[in-house]
Structure 1
Amino acid sequence: MSFAKLLAATTAALALAGVAHAQGAPPSLDLTLRPHASAGALDAVDVTLKLQAPNARPGENFLRLPMVFASVETARYEAADIQVTDTKGAVPLVQKDDPADPSNFMYFRRWQVARETVGDVTVRYKAPARAFRPRLGSGPPFDLRPEAGGVNGAGVTFLALPDTQKPFSLHLAWDLAGMPAGSRAAQSLGEGELRMTGPVELLANTYYMAGPMSSYPAESGGPFAIYWLGAPPFDVQAVASWTEKARTAIATFFGEPDKPYRVFFRKNPYPGTGGAGLLNSFMSGFSDDPPPTVEGMRHHLAHEIVHNWPGSLSGPNGIISWYGEGLAEFYSATIPWRAGLIDTDDFLAQVNERAQSYYGNPVNTAPASEIAAKFWSDTRVRKLPYDRGAFYMAMVDAQVRAKSGGKRSLDDLVKAMIARRDAGQSYDTDAWLSLVVAELGPQAKTEHEEMMAGKLLVPPSEAYGPCFKREDATYRVFELGFDAASLTASPRIVRGLVAGSNAAKAGLKEGDEVTEQVVLDAVQGKPDDTITLKVRRDGKDLQITYLPRGEALPGYRWSRVAEVPGSKCAI
């Protein structure tokens, strides 16, 4: 999964860090993480925060932690779980929750002090590391979790931090005394101890891993590294070496060849993949059932690396997803193709997999305004901004190249947008439209409005260059066969079974309980992939396998133009 909203927050945090450094040294915040074991099993991380004279007062927010982030439940500490002391002794906390977010994207639990603090303050709490935490939807699996003798998770799920945007002199330290011999610790911004200046979002939007972990390269001191615990069921070296080259190509394209990037592999306790983009990094989840392929991991990681530059526009979640996800889909195939890291057949396969996912999506004309409400509960809705955005970018690219006689392209508009953001100017839909209208004329705004309203997009035949042509195709729609929200409920009870669907024909029944998490995003673009549901009915466990496809719909695909040599393909 792509995580543009979080990347936007981390980009802003890095910008604030630069401002803070320019203004002089702010107060210190020391964070110590100590993985904790009981009876030989790692079960928690002891967290200690030392704050330099925060002068916290009653009625003002002091600490905060999301209650849910991107449909993932966090540690959800109670006030009694957090011990606060200052020079006068214990400081009681008053707990308050924000109104719940009905889309399950994010809302906070906040804590205030019951009396004014005096001098430096120490905050202590124990973050539980659990083998599995039930999820509210299909969010990224980045909760704090033990794995292969170590522990890993995103800070946003377990770090209760000061409730302020003010910068700190940040210091992160690890205490690995309770870990196996030879253990290491790493996070999104490096390995081991860390010092930097900036807001606490730099700690919250960071991924953490500690234990007897491996890395690529084995001595990770450069701008790129991959970390993992245990033994992943795929060729890690093949994935890592390709990803390092892709990172270099993507970073060079965006003008920052030395920008650091780290990947953390993590095993999911259920079938399927998943992940989350964090600060200069990506957490990539995998499972043994089925194990990921090297090719699948390559595209997945390239998509996430691209996110580090265009990020996300300012605006409501869902409404603006077409931009960040569309660019990540477009460039994760285009840049490796230009760099010779994938061949023309691989590039074409990615285009047509997207066509299958988009034209075979029964909700492909849903307006952007409806995406946020169902983003985490319906894979058809969740995939729509990726596919729609990628085809929109291909259309804009083709139009700009045609109008300029090949002298300009989408590349120029995207880099101009990033330059705007870096200069502190607006980075939103209006900014994009001002650039594209200046390039293509007023009809560009109309075309964008039509896309947002749900008009089906049809890129021109030459959208991907002279080596390909568009042709008519027929796609059987992706049809789960029952209400997709059943898979994100607790418990997962099958509701809304469609009579005559493949699910019903395979034996699924209304009221069956699905006992294991099901990840559907990748299946949508692969017309021959079946899904297997593990269900419980009348006390008996069953497995039901079927092809999640329904009626046929017209659409498009691209084919190779044989007479054009491969040397002229990459645009």
Structure 2
Amino acid sequence: MVPSYPIIRLRLTPQFEGESAIGLAVRLEIPYPNANVGQRLFRFLTRYNDVPGPLLRESDIEAVDDQGPLSVVFQAGDWGGPNTENWWHMDRATMGNLVLVYKVLAREVDIVLLQGTRLDLLREQRGLVGVGSGFLPDYLSNQVYRTVVEWSLPPNVPEMTKCVSSFGPGPGPASYVGYAKAIFDSVYMVGPIQSYPPTIPPAKQGGFGACHWLGEPPPNLRDKMARVNQALAPKMMQYFHARGETWNVFFRKGRGGHTGLGLLSSCIVEYNEDTVHMSDSLRTHLIAHEMVRTLSDMDREDNFYENRWFDEGLAEYYAAVLPYRFGVRDKDYLVCAINRSLQAYFTSPRLHMDIGTVYPAGWYANLVGCKRGCAYLMWVDGMLRRACGKLDLMQPGPLDEIVICMSHSRRRGFKFQIKNWIEQLGKHLPVGEMQKHLVGMLQGNIVDFGGLSGDDSPFRMFPCQKMILDFGFDIGRLYNGHLVGLVAKSPAYHAGLRNGDVLVNTTSLEACMNDHRAWLTVEYKRGDQKYTIKFCPRTAKTSAWEMREMALGAGLV
């Protein structure tokens, strides 16, 4: 018997001006929230990564339930700095279903992010694309629902208009069974959309990969990314036992370069003119990272600590290992991808930062968990494989068993937290030692690969020297005005930058973190003059580890 779930309904109606989409009319229906007066019902992002959310007032939202109209009341949230939020509650207790109706206008790409992908609803090449968290409220419920998304196309809709979301193609209803947060963590696109393949087939047993875009992304990106997606999606879905799902890649043009954001069964890939030079290896790693990130993650702790070190670290490590194991990429890809992450970890100026109690903010700090988690999980994988004698990375090992167990637990509604992680490790290695290593890693102790350099290790680790990453100025304010915090005699100083310069744009900061040979290009203004400089953002040497070989039988001698 198929289980029955309460239904959340979301209807989106595109608004057009001539041939271009300019906004959305939103109708969100919540089944029986049974909320008391003043009870927090929704969380709405008013600013994320210093990008303001839609200009939405309490009076802009029509609310009605079975008893009649209500008023939505905003309350300032707990976040501060570059991320702010509002809590939404009603002016009286709700009765029956609650319906919210409002309109949101899209905006042009006008702010370049220092890190990550924009969430807000953006206008692009006569269409719209955005993440639900950029224009929809997050319903605060831990219940499982069937969420139904449908599009209502107005009579004046331009020809060739299509619509698609992470839930599936529109305009007809597409549904998903899961937590209410699903609509908040999904992508929505409408306009003259092109897709590959042009028609998305019914759900396949092994999973399926599809790509969607507006306008004309660089063919080098579009065609090759589509092939990578189709090659990886069925194997990833099979690995994580998520058969029948479609993995959607949404391309979006932006000024920030090729970045990715993983969401519900999908990801956004931003591109610009420089993306044509993106290598096949980086394309594969980008898609694989976002797939792993959304298909398996660890629950936050009871004290609300987010285990992002695990989520991002596993995505980073498995984005190197799984494409190799699946036969999509060769051993050189694996070694290069691992060493990029290890280099970023060991040369980070925040190498010893404590992330054990509060997950830090800031550009450097946001990447600490990803790179440190990758190094730690690689070390754990090596220790587990050595303990059970499964040295061949082409074959699943104990870490894979733990990850699949975690994925299954979360799909069944059971939590998987740090205590469960240690419990699983304890089946193969001493619990006390594993607990000590985990706490030390979170507090900033360096991951030591010295014990994984012999013949009984799945990979051969070698000590080396690398240059520490140092941009030489306060990158936390890179796109927010004048340059501050310039370090005297730093590479940035010698290249010509000075405090007070207005920074306009840069090439990828993360590329510099992952590759000690990468140079940073900075566009800036001083007075009425515009300048472009290049420099290598590296200073003193530090000790590091790198991977050069794998065990016999694992592809390398």
Q: Same fold (TM over 0.5)?
A: yes
Residue number in structure 1 paired with 2:308: 321
Q: Please report how far the alpha carbon of residue 530 of structure 1 lies from its aligned counterpart in structure 2 after TM superposition.
A: 1.4
Q: Please report how far the alpha carbon of residue 464 of structure 1 lies from its aligned counterpart in structure 2 after TM superposition.
A: 11
Show CA shifts across 1:6-33 (max 9, x none).
xxxxxxxxxxxx9xx73x453x544221
| One-letter amino acid of the structure 2 residue matched with residue 73 of structure 1 | P
> Is the partner of 1:204 in helix, strand or coil?
coil
Residue number in structure 1 paired with 2:535: 546
> Is the partner of 1:372 in helix, strand or coil?
coil
Greater displacement, 242-251 / 514-523? 514-523
Residue number in structure 1 paired with 2:337: 350
* Equivalent of residue 469 in structure 1, options 444, 449, 460: 460
| One-letter amino acid of the structure 2 residue matched with residue 446 of structure 1 | K
Q: 1:103 to 1:49 in 2, by over 3 A?
A: closer
Distance 2:384 2:95 in 1: 61
> Is the partner of 2:427 in helix, strand or coil?
helix
Residue number in structure 1 paired with 2:376: 392
* Equivalent of residue 457 in structure 1, options 435, 447, 462: 447
Show CA shifts across 1:268-307 (max 9, x none).
1x14222321111111112213543333111111011112
* Equivalent of residue 303 in structure 1, options 264, 271, 289: 289
Distance 1:366 1:533 in 2: 27
| One-letter amino acid of the structure 2 residue matched with residue 358 of structure 1 | Y
* Equivalent of residue 489 in structure 2, options 500, 504, 518: 500
Q: Please report how far the alpha carbon of residue 153 of structure 1 lies from its aligned counterpart in structure 2 after TM superposition.
A: 0.6
- What is the TM-score when the length of structure 2 is the normalising length? 0.87
Distance 1:190 1:570 in 2: 42
How is 1:383-462 mapped onto 2 (pairs within 5 angstroms)? 383-406=367-390, 408-422=397-411, 424-441=413-430, 442-459=432-449, 460-462=451-453
| One-letter amino acid of the structure 1 residue matched with residue 383 of structure 2 | Q
How is 1:352-391 mapped onto 2 (pairs within 5 angstroms)? 352-369=339-356, 372-374=359-361, 377-378=362-363, 380-391=364-375
Is 1:124 aligned to 2:127, yes or no? no
8 Å Cα contact 2:382/2:459 also seen in 1:
no
> Is the partner of 1:182 in helix, strand or coil?
coil
* Equivalent of residue 167 in structure 2, options 189, 198, 217: 189
Q: 1:52 to 1:464 in 2, by over 3 A?
A: farther
* Equivalent of residue 83 in structure 1, options 62, 67, 83: 62
Is 1:112 aligned to 2:90, yes or no? yes
Distance 2:349 2:417 in 1: 29
Residue number in structure 2 paired with 1:14: none
Show CA shifts across 1:311-348 (max 9, x none).
13323777622211221112111111112211111211
- What is the TM-score when the length of structure 1 is the normalising length? 0.85
8 Å Cα contact 1:319/1:369 also seen in 2:
no
Q: 1:317 to 1:472 in 2, by over 3 A?
A: farther
* Equivalent of residue 223 in structure 2, options 206, 227, 237: 237
8 Å Cα contact 1:43/1:146 also seen in 2:
yes
Q: Please report how far the alpha carbon of residue 41 of structure 1 lies from its aligned counterpart in structure 2 after TM superposition.
A: 3.9
Residue number in structure 2 paired with 1:176: 153
8 Å Cα contact 1:313/1:324 also seen in 2:
no
Q: Please report how far the alpha carbon of residue 168 of structure 1 lies from its aligned counterpart in structure 2 after TM superposition.
A: 5.6
* Equivalent of residue 472 in structure 2, options 481, 485, 501: 481
Show CA shifts across 1:129-187 (max 9, x none).
10125478634222100111111111111013655555666432212334431221111
| One-letter amino acid of the structure 1 residue matched with residue 382 of structure 2 | A
Distance 2:556 2:322 in 1: 9
Greater displacement, 183-192 / 270-279? 270-279
8 Å Cα contact 2:483/2:500 also seen in 1:
yes
Residue number in structure 2 paired with 1:13: none
How is 1:263-302 mapped onto 2 (pairs within 5 angstroms)? 263-268=249-254, 270-291=255-276, 292-302=278-288
Distance 1:29 1:402 in 2: 48
> Is the partner of 1:440 in helix, strand or coil?
coil
Distance 1:79 1:185 in 2: 29
8 Å Cα contact 1:166/1:199 also seen in 2:
yes
| One-letter amino acid of the structure 1 residue matched with residue 399 of structure 2 | L
8 Å Cα contact 1:29/1:169 also seen in 2:
yes
Distance 2:459 2:137 in 1: 52
Residue number in structure 2 paired with 1:533: 522
Q: State the percentage of identical aligned residues.
A: 24
> Is the partner of 2:428 in helix, strand or coil?
helix
| One-letter amino acid of the structure 2 residue matched with residue 190 of structure 1 | G
8 Å Cα contact 1:88/1:118 also seen in 2:
yes
Residue number in structure 1 paired with 2:323: 336
> Is the partner of 2:120 in helix, strand or coil?
coil
* Equivalent of residue 137 in structure 2, options 160, 179, 183: 160
Distance 2:32 2:408 in 1: 38
Distance 1:391 1:29 in 2: 40
8 Å Cα contact 1:478/1:550 also seen in 2:
yes
Distance 2:358 2:50 in 1: 15
Greater displacement, 78-87 / 492-501? 78-87
Distance 2:151 2:455 in 1: 49
8 Å Cα contact 1:171/1:196 also seen in 2:
yes
Q: 1:387 to 1:464 in 2, by over 3 A?
A: farther
> Is the partner of 1:250 in helix, strand or coil?
helix
8 Å Cα contact 1:271/1:288 also seen in 2:
no
Q: RMSD in angstroms over aligned alpha carbons?
A: 3.1
8 Å Cα contact 2:47/2:82 also seen in 1:
no
> Is the partner of 1:237 in helix, strand or coil?
helix
Q: 1:325 to 1:251 in 2, by over 3 A?
A: same
Greater displacement, 473-482 / 136-145? 136-145
8 Å Cα contact 1:72/1:140 also seen in 2:
no
Distance 1:103 1:369 in 2: 22
8 Å Cα contact 1:398/1:464 also seen in 2:
no
Q: Please report how far the alpha carbon of residue 99 of structure 1 lies from its aligned counterpart in structure 2 after TM superposition.
A: 2.9
| One-letter amino acid of the structure 2 residue matched with residue 96 of structure 1 | Q
Q: Please report how far the alpha carbon of residue 54 of structure 1 lies from its aligned counterpart in structure 2 after TM superposition.
A: 6.4
Q: 1:449 to 1:171 in 2, by over 3 A?
A: closer
Show CA shifts across 1:62-105 (max 9, x none).
5542224566532251112212356887544332222334573x
* Equivalent of residue 208 in structure 1, options 179, 184, 188: 188
| One-letter amino acid of the structure 2 residue matched with residue 392 of structure 1 | Y
8 Å Cα contact 1:54/1:117 also seen in 2:
yes
Residue number in structure 2 paired with 1:555: 544
Distance 1:321 1:79 in 2: 33
Q: Which has the higher contact order (CA 8 A, sep 6+)?
A: 1
Q: Please report how far the alpha carbon of residue 467 of structure 1 lies from its aligned counterpart in structure 2 after TM superposition.
A: 8.2
Q: How many residues align?
A: 539
Residue number in structure 1 paired with 2:394: none
Q: 1:286 to 1:448 in 2, by over 3 A?
A: same
Is 1:524 aligned to 2:524, yes or no? no
Residue number in structure 1 paired with 2:45: 66
Residue number in structure 2 paired with 1:8: none
8 Å Cα contact 1:494/1:512 also seen in 2:
yes
Distance 2:522 2:473 in 1: 12
Q: Please report how far the alpha carbon of residue 358 of structure 1 lies from its aligned counterpart in structure 2 after TM superposition.
A: 1.6
